[in-house]
């Protein structure tokens, strides 16, 4: 085991290379630039390539292009670059090409605040491209160590599901300096729960059957299989076609290969849910770190408060919200994006409230004040904003 | 085309899905002929296409590996793919004028800058024809299209003083040529040279669109008229006439004069790896 005091950016690079990533294409953007820098330094040492593209749209297309040629590849960006990924995301989802994408969220919209954490791409990550008819896999780390581990997992899932897997991090995860353990031996990797999968090659000549199966090898160009992949609706052979009947098949595949195998993807952390807590706090990413401290301290004071932290964020883990309670979604945005998902998933006789911060983490004191108000049935006034429903 | 079709193309896609009378087939055929004359096998090529008539009608015609990229992005896809596939395999791209000179121009310039091996055959139907016939970046001035109903008033990128090939040359392209689709032998010759350049090659080829361009610009879908019109407005470089729009021939040939993108990157990575293993430290 190697131990470092390093940033999340460094940890992510180590995880990617460990998972077999041999090409990274990027475009400088705060706060994800350091991943590109670390990749440009470390990939060549293991025979891998770093490409700096003309823009983010080009960067992800290059990474997907290389992945379509059989390489394990990755790209990383932040919000303003993430929206330029919309185009290649669609291509990778539709052609069913494995690739890992990291988004270190900052404060938006547009350029916003560049060097501070946000969580405004909760829904963007679910719908990274247009057109619908697909499910997405999104993993949300809350530390440098977990970012390393989830990078490895993202590569593993992308191979099994033949699809882009998004790591939805934030500025504190990627920039934060933390203790990181990098396993070296197979035993150490296994003990850490890391999973690996090599690239396999679909031998064609057909594209894919209409099935929700995972573990079908992806189509790979350049292997003389007669492979065909395109941005159009494919027939089962891979030809372009424009009929509703034909479109049904790939749509079914893109949705249900993920929807029917959430057990392979699901990860979460929960705390104190066994005694029907009065409040269940829901949060992900770095926001969950102060939330966890606040919940633990509240317990010490005798308050019945629990916590749910989805780690696999999409598909959204509805099954975790099966208890009647008062839910509190704590997010790094002011618009309460996750509120809607929690509200949808929780029992109908539960309540949902929201506390949002942006560019900085909620403090334990702030959270305790909120818990207090909720327990007394007082309305929340986060930063002077009264939300009638929440 | 029978022998060539059997050897290289997929029965399902031949005859072509293009409109009857369309000149795209001439571009397509010239490229397949060039590959045949160079004695390429199906497995020596990965064939990529874009959006629009040029892309859609040529996608999955090749018996080997095929892809169709998002609009304007195939040049970026190709640069990534270039690093993943065997260096000896050629990437061939059949794309439209809107794709190359409009939405994808930034990616195209950077593909030229990096000299990534790809043979880009720009099949130019003088505008956006698959969407019904709007003007593009090579539409001649004065021409009526669905989005220039009073005649195309903007300048275009084949005018001598602002030729897109000059921009691509300045951007680093190592082989550039321009033709009209009825150039036949000369077009095949240019395409052969383009494919033999281990670097970025682009052959700009204007072809007659009978369905939309001809209907708007000439007021008729008569194939003979539009074929004659395109031919009349083309002349070899140095033999221009008063009405010449397209100066044909090899515009720039610096084939194999500078390192190819993926080869250079492979070499540099191998060198770093050697040094790193030698030093054995971070
Ligand atoms: S619209 Fe024009 S360019 Fe397109 S296939 Fe028909 S004739 Fe050819």
Q: Which helix (H) or strand (E) holds A369?
A: helix A364-375
Q: Where in chain A is the domain with CATH 3.40.50.970?
A: 2-191
pLDDT score, position A387:
52
Could A61 and B69 be called an inter-chain contact, meaning their C-beta atoms sit closer than 8 Å? Answer: yes
Is A69 in Cβ contact with B85 (below 8 Å)?
yes
Query: Can you tell me the distance from the alpha carbon of B199 to that of B258, in angstroms, rounded to the nearest whole number?
Result: 8
Atom of ligand 1 nearest to the CA of B23: 8
| Choices 2.20.25.10, 2.60.40.420, 3.40.50.720, 3.40.50.970: CATH for B3-280 | 3.40.50.970
Counting beta carbons within 10 angstroms of the beta carbon of residue A366, is it exposed (0 to 12), middle (13 to 18) or buried (19 or more)? middle
Task: Give me the CATH code for the A2-191 domain, please.
Answer: 3.40.50.970
Q: Is the pLDDT of residue A199 over 60?
A: yes
What is d(CA A323, CA A311) in angstroms, rounded to the nearest whole number?
A: 19
Site from A86, A204, A230 to mutate, B interface, most B CB atoms within 10 angstroms? A230
**Closest ligand 1 atom, residue B21 Cα:** 7
Mean pLDDT score across all residues of chain B: 96
Position A390 scores a pLDDT of 45
Question: Residue A210 pairs with which residues in a beta bridge?
Answer: none
Instruction: Give the A window 32-91 contacts with B, CB below 8 Å.
Output: 43-49, 51, 53-55, 57-59, 61-71, 73, 87-88, 90-91
Give the position, in ligand 1's atom list, of the atom nearest the Cα of B53: 4
Q: Would an 8 Å CB–CB cutoff place A97 in contact with chain B?
A: no
Q: How many CB atoms are located within 10 Å of the residue B149 CB?
A: 8
- The per-residue pLDDT for B280 is 62
Could you identify the residue written with the tokens 């790193």? B276
Calpha distance A119→A294 (Å, rounded): 20
| Cα B141 to middle of ligand 1, angstroms | 20
Indicate which residue's Cα is closest to atom 6 of ligand 1: B19
Cross-chain residue pair B89–A222, CB shorter than 8 Å: yes
Distance from CA of A245 to the nearest CA of B (A): 19
Kindly report which listed range (A27-36, A116-125, B271-280) carries the lowest average pLDDT score. Answer: B271-280
Helix or strand holding residue B178 (H, E) = strand B175-180
Minimal C-alpha gap between A88 and chain B (Å): 7
pLDDT of B238 above 70: yes
Q: What is the pLDDT of residue B281?
A: 52
Residues A62-76: pLDDT tens digits? 999 999 999 999 999
The pLDDT > 70 percentage for chain B reads: 99
Q: Which residues pair with B247 in a beta bridge?
A: B235
Residue B15's pLDDT is 84
Residue with tokens 């350029």: A111
pLDDT at B8 over 70: yes
Quote the radius of gyration of chain B (alpha carbons, Å): 19
SS3 content of chain A, % helix, strand, coil (to 5): 40, 20, 40
Phi, psi of B209 (to 5 degrees): -100, 110
- Tell me how far CA of residue B15 lies from CA of B57, B61, B81, B240, in angstroms: 10, 10, 29, 35
Residue B150 has pLDDT above 90, yes or no: yes
pLDDT at residue A251 is higher than 90: yes
pLDDT in tens, A349-379: 999 999 999 999 999 999 999 999 999 998 8
Say if the Cβ atoms of A222 and B76 lie within 8 Å. Answer: no
Distance from CA of A71 to the nearest CA of B (A): 6
Name beta bridge partners: B90. Answer: B45
Kindly indicate the confidence band of residue B14, based on its pLDDT and cuts at 50, 70 and 90: confident
Tell me which residue in A63, A91, A226 faces B65 most closely, judged by beta carbons: A226
Determine the Cα angle at A40 with ends A37 and A43, to 5°. 130
**Residue in this structure with the two tokens 């959270």, named with its chain if needed:** A367
Show the tokens assigned to A345: 């998933």
What does residue A34 show for φ and ψ, rounded to 5 degrees? -65, -25
B31 vs A18: CA distance, rounded Å: 43
**Residue A32 burial (CB < 10 Å; 0-12/13-18/19+)?**
buried
Chains A, B: CB contacts within 8 A come to 148
Q: Nearest CA to A101 among A160, A16, A177?
A: A16
Average pLDDT over residues B68-87: 98
Neighbours of A307 (CB within 10 A): 25
**For position B2, what pLDDT does the model report?**
87
Of B56, B70, B76, the CB nearest to A240: B56
Cα–Cα distance list, A350 to A342, A343, A355, A373 (Å): 10, 8, 17, 17
What is the rounded distance in angstroms from the CA atom of residue A261 to the CA atom of residue A69? 26
Q: List, chain by chain if needed, residues with CB within 6 Å of any ligand 1 atom.
A: B 18-19, 22, 24, 53, 57, 125, 129-130, 209-212
Of B123, B159, B120, B112, nearest in space to B254 by CA: B112
Contacts of A95 in chain B (CB under 8 A): 67
What are the backbone dihedrals phi and psi of residue B47, each rounded to the nearest 5 degrees, phi first? -105, 120
Contacts of B130 (CB under 8 A, 6+ apart): B51, B52, B53, B56, B96
* Residue B27 near residue B93, CB atoms below 8 Å: no
Outline where DSSP puts E strands in chain A. 2-7, 23-26, 49-52, 73-77, 99-105, 137-139, 164-170, 177-182, 228-229, 268-271, 279-282, 305-310, 312-314, 326-331, 351-356
Find the residue in A nearest to B74 (Cα): A61
Residues A54, B64: C-beta atoms closer than 8 Å: no
CB of B177 closer than 8 Å to CB of B249: yes
Q: Does domain A269-386 have CATH number 3.40.50.920?
A: yes
pLDDT band at A204 (very low <50, low <70, confident <90, very high): confident
Cα Rg of chain A (Å, integer)? 21
Residue spans in chain A of domains classed CATH 3.40.50.920: 269-386
Q: What is the mean pLDDT of residues A320-342?
A: 96
pLDDT digits (tens, 9 = 90+) for A145-197: 999 999 999 999 999 999 999 999 999 999 999 999 999 999 999 999 999 99
pTM: 0.97
- A residues 201..240 contacting B (CB < 8 A): 221-232, 238-240
Helix locations, chain B, DSSP H: 2-8, 24-37, 52-58, 74-84, 97-98, 105-114, 164-171, 185-196, 215-217, 223-232, 261-279
According to DSSP, the β-strands at A305-310 and A268-271 are: antiparallel
Using a CB-CB cut-off of 8 Å, the residues of chain B touching A70 are 84-85
Instruction: Write down the pLDDT at residue A383.
Output: 53
């Amino acid at each position: 085991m190697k131990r470092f005091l390093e940033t999340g950016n460094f940890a992510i690079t180590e995880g990617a290379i460990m998972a077999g990533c041999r090409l990274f294409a990027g475009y400088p953007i705060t706060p994800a630039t350091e991943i590109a820098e670390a990749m440009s330094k470390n990939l060549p040492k293991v025979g891998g390539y770093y490409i700096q593209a003309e823009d983010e749209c080009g960067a992800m297309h290059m990474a997907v292009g290389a992945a379509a040629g059989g390489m394990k590849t990755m790209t990383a960006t932040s919000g303003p670059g993430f929206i330029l990924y919309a185009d290649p995301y669609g291509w990778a989802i539709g052609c069913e090409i494995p690739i890992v994408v990291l988004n270190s969220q900052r404060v938006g919209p547009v350029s916003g605040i560049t060097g501070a954490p946000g969580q405004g791409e909760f829904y963007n990550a679910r719908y990274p491209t247009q057109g619908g008819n697909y499910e997405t896999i999104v993993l949300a780390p809350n530390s440098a160590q977990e970012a390393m581990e989830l990078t490895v997992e993202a590569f593993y899932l992308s191979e099994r599901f033949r699809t882009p897997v998004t790591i939805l991090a934030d500025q504190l995860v990627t920039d934060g300096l933390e203790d990181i353990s990098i396993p070296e031996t197979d035993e150490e990797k296994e003990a850490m729960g890391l999973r690996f999968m090599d690239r396999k090659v679909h031998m064609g000549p057909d594209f894919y059957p209409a099935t929700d199966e995972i573990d079908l090898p992806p189509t790979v160009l350049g292997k003389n299989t007669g492979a065909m992949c395109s941005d159009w609706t494919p027939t089962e052979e891979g030809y372009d076609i424009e009929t509703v009947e034909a479109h049904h098949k790939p749509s079914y595949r893109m949705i249900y290969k993920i929807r029917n195998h959430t057990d392979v993807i699901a990860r979460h952390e929960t705390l104190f849910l066994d005694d029907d807590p009065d409040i269940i706090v829901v949060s992900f990413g770095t926001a969950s770190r102060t939330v966890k401290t606040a919940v633990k301290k509240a317990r010490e004071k005798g308050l019945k408060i629990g916590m749910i932290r989805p780690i696999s964020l999409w598909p959204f883990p509805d099954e975790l919200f099966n208890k009647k309670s008062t839910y509190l979604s704590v997010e790094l945005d002011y618009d309460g994006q996750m509120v809607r998902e929690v509200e949808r998933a929780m029992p109908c006789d539960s309540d949902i409230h929201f506390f949002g911060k942006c560019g900085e983490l909620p403090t334990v004191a702030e959270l305790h004040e909120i818990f207090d108000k909720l327990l007394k049935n007082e309305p929340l006034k986060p930063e002077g904003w009264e939300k009638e429903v929440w | 085309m029978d022998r060539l079709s059997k050897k290289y193309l997929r029965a399902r896609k031949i005859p072509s899905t293009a409109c009857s009378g369309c000149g795209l087939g001439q571009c397509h055929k010239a490229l397949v002929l060039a590959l045949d004359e160079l004695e390429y096998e199906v497995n020596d090529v990965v064939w990529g296409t874009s959006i629009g008539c040029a892309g859609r009608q040529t996608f999955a015609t090749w018996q080997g590996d095929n892809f169709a990229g998002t609009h304007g992005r195939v040049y970026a896809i190709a640069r990534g793919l270039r690093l993943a596939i065997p260096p000896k395999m050629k990437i061939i791209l059949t794309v439209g004028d809107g794709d190359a000179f409009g939405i994808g121009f930034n990616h195209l310039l950077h593909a030229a800058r990096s000299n990534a091996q790809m043979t880009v055959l720009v099949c130019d139907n003088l505008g956006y024809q698959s969407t019904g016939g709007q003007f593009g970046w090579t539409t001649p001035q004065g021409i009526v299209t669905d989005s220039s109903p009073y005649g195309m008033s903007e300048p275009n990128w084949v005018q001598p003083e602002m030729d897109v090939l000059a921009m691509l040359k300045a951007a680093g392209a190592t082989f550039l040529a321009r033709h009209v689709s009825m150039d036949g032998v000369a077009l095949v010759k240019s395409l052969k040279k383009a494919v033999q350049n281990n670097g970025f090659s682009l052959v700009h080829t204007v072809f007659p669109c009978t369905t939309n361009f001809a209907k708007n610009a000439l007021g008729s879908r008569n194939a003979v008229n539009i074929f004659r019109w395109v031919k009349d407005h083309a002349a070899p470089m140095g033999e221009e006439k008063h009405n010449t729009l397209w100066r044909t021939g090899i515009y720039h040939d610096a084939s194999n004069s500078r390192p190819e993108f993926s080869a250079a990157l492979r070499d540099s990575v191998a060198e770093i790896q050697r040094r790193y293993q030698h030093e054995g430290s971070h």
